[in-house]
Structure 1
Amino acid sequence: MRHQVCIIGGGPSGLLLSLLLRRAGIDAIVLEQRTRDYVLARIRAGVLEQGLCDLLHEAGVGKRLDAEGFVHDGTLITAHGQTVHIDFKALTGSAVTIYGQTEVTRDLYDELDRTSAPIFHEAEGVEIHGADGDAPYVTFTHHGVSHRIDCDYIAGCDGFHGVSRRTIPEGTRREYEHVYPFGWLGILSETKPLHDELVYAGSDRGFALCSMRHTHLSRHYLQVPLTDEVEDWSDDAFWDELRRRLPQELADTLETGPSIEKSIAPLRSFISEPMRWGRLFLAGDAAHIVPPTGAKGLNLAASDVYYLSRALIARYAGDAGLLETYSATALARVWKASRFSWSMTRMLHNFPTEGDFLRRMQGAEIEYLAGSKAAQTALAENYVGLPY
């Protein structure tokens, strides 16, 4: 087989890149290790920056987003006796949209089906060859049959554990990582959202986040020790602890119910440089991971896809300049968004080994945020998304 671009990874970044390239007349194929049902069953974030919403419209998948997404003009941050409303719209003129990553992926799949775009699920043993030369190719096995795809370029959208980043020689890539000493316990429940905006809560007992998927589906999170297991937390225990971490006036309005999904995720900050090696280009979690506090994971993948799709489209139009600068351009935004996610995590979580000094500094940070329009503007600018 021959295709102009081989995309490894069938999550939202790989699917979105495929659609954007195909709409520009570029022949792209997607290889995904898992089944389609498995990909769609993954529960992920749902805060979309305007840049990602614009890309989804460009890819032809914005109709359901417009109909079912919730536009949020702000968020609540409550900690250390302060409740601060960050008014995104007033401070930046922009907003975010609440629309689950699962729904984004479903919309992308539907459009790929409609356009008969080639995608292999259950592609096993994927290997990248010759990426540092002029004739790269990818080999894999599908249902027991070996395949080879010759291509011009390879896009590694296969996540943190995928083959793409590991194809770059260890002597060439440099990895930066910070592992946080806690995780997030998250539940999904068919309950009314706590508030019409997201609520970020810091307390002496730990961090909590109250989010939503739609008017009768809520997503809530608690900071928990890395030693905790899902089985340690009954639904009643979760709701009781969430109430303790919220201001009383919000806790009194919390609607509870049985969980329909429950999981614990560790938190890390991770960046791998460079994001290009020869004709292999990394995008999304293959190159970087951020803690979910700043709602940047999917959005950072989208900005990578924006830069890479523009670069490939320009290349096939005769200009390779954007491809040459892709890694530096993408990484500049990655580091800034990672800084924001790190700072939000640092401001609102308990770090049990760092003592009272950090807690007092967090309190000072929240107090400054409450009284400073400049600080609120900086937070809002980062939350709604830095420009591409």
Structure 2
Amino acid sequence: MVGQLDTHATSRGRRSLLGSEDGELAFRIHAPDHEQTTVTVRSPKCSIGSHESCTLRLRAADLRPVHCWVMRGANGAWVRRWSQQTLLNDQGFEASPLRIGDRLKFGSIELELINIRPAPPAPASHESSTEPNKAPAVEASGALNESADDSIETSDAAEPSATEEPTRSLANRLNELESLLDDYAGQREREAEQQRAVQDELRRLRAVVADRERQLGDARRLASQYELELQSAHEHWLAERAALERQIDELRERIERLAEPNAENTTDEDSTDGDSATARAAIALATESASESAAEDATVDVEINAELRAEHERTTARLAELQQQLDQREREHAEQAARLTEQRDELLSRVDELQSSLDHIQPAHDAAL
């Protein structure tokens, strides 16, 4: 940022190799958030930069110690670049003539050349040695008051030729140091960016590890739940099967008990029929009451046999029904057991996958730490 403008100009009786110090260059200074300032340079040589030895000193965070040299003579003005961060009309250059309207750019500051007044031809040597030079090296207009811009300082640039080469070496060294500082700052920024990337990767790995551990815990809990359900279903099926088998055994015993009287009654009927025939043949003249009593006994036997047969049939049918239920329950249990076993196996496989993924991620997580 450009602050205030301050001028420091002195008058020295010197003559430039490019001509006399009469004449001038006028620059309009453009800087962000500041009013335009006009600077007039009457010195035939003008160094521009942020170093205190520069003729036109500019103060801003993005400036180099020496950006360029501007030289003016009878044939016009030239500029030579001393820093790669110096642009002429937004283009790089090494040396170039200056024309009105050209713009020199140094970081956020731009100098626009608005006037060139070339120096007249140099007078004779005896005249130049006796005539004093009354013109200041640099003048500033447009902001020469207490609130003027102090980030721009000027001084006379007519340096003795004996000091020009040391000044140039110093400028080169300063520019090299500035470049090294920029490189170091860039390296620090890259290292900070790498550190931020490592921290981001560490956070991502931690989130992945936490998610895998959560999924692994959920899968293990589900596998245990299915294992308990499978065990409970098996125990329930065993209880139902035992109950059905007990009912079947009871029905079979009942059928056997029903079958025994029926067989005895059948034998009695056969023997009774034979005895009755013999008795009827022997005692044809039995009394009427005895005949009626025998007929009633035969009717009762027939009714008892019919009831036993019906009960036997009902019991047999119930036995078949219970057997079908038992078979159906066994099929359902087998299907449920197969389904639960498949779900359990899938969950166990998922547990193995999650554990393998966790084992793979853990070394990277530990390395990031």
Is the TM value for this pair above 0.5? no
Task: Tell me which protein shows more strand as a share of its residues.
Answer: 1
Instruction: Decide which structure has greater helix share.
Output: 2
TM range (shorter): under 0.3
TM-score, with structure 1 as normaliser = 0.20
Pair member with larger Rg: 2
TM-score (structure 2 length as normaliser) = 0.21
